[in-house]
Amino acid sequence: MKNFLLLLVLGTLSFGSPSPAQQVEPNYEESGVPDYSLPDPLRFEAGGQVNHVEDWLERRKELVTLFEKHVYGKSPDWDGELHAETLFENPNFLAGKASRKGVRLHLKRNGREVFFDLLLFYPNTGQPVPAFLGLNFYGNHTLAGDAQVPVTEAWIRNNEAMGSSGNRASEVGRGKRIPNWPYEAIISRGYGLVSLYYGEVDPDFDDGFRNGVHALYPEERRNEASWGSIAGWAWGLSRVMDFLESESWVQPEKVAVLGHSRLGKAALWAGAVDTRFALVISNNSGCGGAALSRRKYGETVARINRSFPHWFAANFNQYNENEAALPIDQHQLLALMAPRPVYVASGVEDRWADPRGEFLSCVAASPVYALFGLQGMPVTAQPPVDEPEMGHIGYHVRSGGHGLLPYDWEQYLDFADLHF
Ligand code: GTR
């Protein structure tokens, strides 16, 4: 009898039916997209229409609070000390056309310290210039062909091509990401570029939020709406902005924040909570970024929460297989940029990120721009491949797959020219 019971228990454990999310294959068919209706960005939770910009500013606060509570988690206010240490400086970069420097930002709070390294490039025009700011995936040395930029010592994802193993980076990755960060082209167009390694801001693994910038707030009692890693990366971008406000080469009122993929999600959240970012760019950010969650196309809320439990607030799990219950959807995240320009880019083969859902999000955010008398997304039908559309919301679907490519940068530079 005992053995029989044991077998029964084991049987339930090993042969128990998988949860619905494990069974479901990602949907890549338009016909498989459920019927859905999107929450209205211009309607207060209690009802009542947003008719004026003043109403929107109230509604905006309500939306930020909803995204904090249900999606990204609430980041703490920064009440520590920021100290910038110059690591190296080369005023004769690119045959004297530009400067490049390395700066270590030390964040100190209540006896604790976290630091991350910035790599800055800017044209030697003698005038302050606009700039792009973005987190990178594999360390600042991947944006440099020479040894002046040290290899990051922080935790890193293992990747053979980038030469990282045992969660440590190596010289193998040096310069490998220059094509994704074409600083020469950016500089020749009159812009600066600031990049930093995201793993120095918050290592990308589930450690119970003890390391990275979370470690600066040990007194924080975590709850279902506490900040996850995406919010941590976004918070780090705001600290870089604090620093840039004191830099003489840059026009701090013309800083565009940009990110690819998970870092595109972080760039959007940074732009939503910190209005100092004058322009916001999402490159292939997909689920939890620019794509509409309710479409359940490609990556879904359930998939992303199970694969990356540390990215979002714990509350976001309530919406696994339950997107219709979300009080927000991602078009409202784009709307939080208004009236500032925002650009969303997809890759046509990057179906996991739902290119069409990213485009529809731009369309559904546009009424908020209209409230400001601005044109958001100029078209309502998804433009053909490699034909960008630029209103105050920009969009393109590029040929090819998931990646931050020179083609994407050309559009971002044009979009910045248009608006700066
Ligand atoms: C994927 C994840 C996406 C995207 C991507 C990336 O594994 O499912 O949401 O963020 O990683 O960051 O490259």
Query: What is the DSSP track for 81-103?
Result: EEEEEEEEEEEEETTTTEEEEEE
Q: Which atom of ligand 1 is nearest to the CA of 263?
A: 12
Helices 355-371 and 53-67 pack at an angle, to 10 degrees, of 140
Q: Identify which of 198, 311, 352 to mutate to test ligand 1's pocket (most ligand atoms within 8 A of the CB).
A: 352
The whole-number pLDDT of residue 15 equals 32
The whole-number pLDDT of residue 88 equals 98
CA angle 298, 205, 279 (to 5 degrees): 65
CA of 286 to the centre of ligand 1 (A): 8
Percent of the chain with pLDDT over 90: 94
CA of 208 to the centre of ligand 1 (A): 20
Query: pLDDT digits over 62-72, tens only?
Result: 999 999 999 99
Query: pLDDT digits over 249-290, tens only?
Result: 999 999 999 999 999 999 999 999 999 999 999 999 999 999
Q: Shortest CA distance to 291 belongs to which of 212, 367, 364?
A: 364
Give 24's pLDDT tier (boundaries 50, 70, 90).
confident
Query: pLDDT digits over 86-130, tens only?
Result: 999 999 999 999 999 999 999 999 999 999 999 999 999 999 999
Give the burial string for 265-274 (b: 16+ CB within 10 Å, else e). Answer: bbbbbbbbbb
Average pLDDT over residues 214-243: 97
Q: Looking at 218-222, 265-269, 296-300, which range is the least confident one?
A: 218-222
Average pLDDT over residues 137-154: 98
Question: Is 188 a known active-site residue?
Answer: no
CA of 285 to the centre of ligand 1 (A): 8
Kindly tell me if the per-residue pLDDT of 417 is higher than 70.
yes
Q: Whose CA is nearest to atom 12 of ligand 1?
A: 262
Ligand 1 site, residue 267, Cβ cutoff 6 A: no
The pTM score is 0.95
The whole-number pLDDT of residue 297 equals 98
Q: Shortest CA distance to 289 belongs to which of 316, 259, 318?
A: 259
CA of 35 to the centre of ligand 1 (A): 25
Ligand 1 site, residue 156, Cβ cutoff 6 A: no
Ligand 1 site, residue 68, Cβ cutoff 6 A: no
Average pLDDT over residues 54-65: 98
Name residues whose C-beta falls within 8 Å of residue 351's C-beta, 6 or more positions apart in sequence: 28, 297, 298
Ligand 1 site, residue 261, Cβ cutoff 6 A: yes
Ligand 1 site, residue 298, Cβ cutoff 6 A: no
The whole-number pLDDT of residue 6 equals 38
Ligand 1 site, residue 262, Cβ cutoff 6 A: yes
CA of 177 to the centre of ligand 1 (A): 18
Q: DSSP character for 69?
A: I
Q: What is the mean pLDDT of the chain?
A: 95
The whole-number pLDDT of residue 22 equals 52
Cβ(116)–Cβ(200) below 8 Å? yes
The whole-number pLDDT of residue 124 equals 98
Beta strands in 18-72, from DSSP E residues, in sequence order = none
The whole-number pLDDT of residue 333 equals 99
280: left (phi over 0), alpha (psi -120 to 50) or beta: beta
Cβ(233)–Cβ(260) below 8 Å? no
Cα-Cα-Cα-Cα torsion 138, 143, 146, 148, nearest 10 degrees, comes to -80
Ligand 1 site, residue 287, Cβ cutoff 6 A: yes
Active-site option among 164, 261, 293, 361: 261
Q: Shortest CA distance to 270 belongs to which of 239, 226, 244, 310?
A: 239
Active-site option among 106, 170, 188, 402: 402
CA of 261 to the centre of ligand 1 (A): 6
Q: Whose CA is nearest to atom 13 of ligand 1?
A: 261
CA of 260 to the centre of ligand 1 (A): 9
Question: Is 261 a known active-site residue?
Answer: yes
The whole-number pLDDT of residue 388 equals 98
Query: 249: which 2 tokens?
Result: 């080469």
Ligand 1 site, residue 304, Cβ cutoff 6 A: yes
Kindly tell me if the per-residue pLDDT of 19 is higher than 90.
no
Kindly tell me if the per-residue pLDDT of 389 is higher than 60.
yes
Q: Cβ atoms within 10 A of the Cβ of 392, count?
A: 26
Q: Whose CA is nearest to atom 8 of ligand 1?
A: 304
Query: 215: which 2 tokens?
Result: 């470690």
Give the burial string for 73-91 (b: 16+ CB within 10 Å, else e). Answer: bbbbeeebeeeeeeeeeee
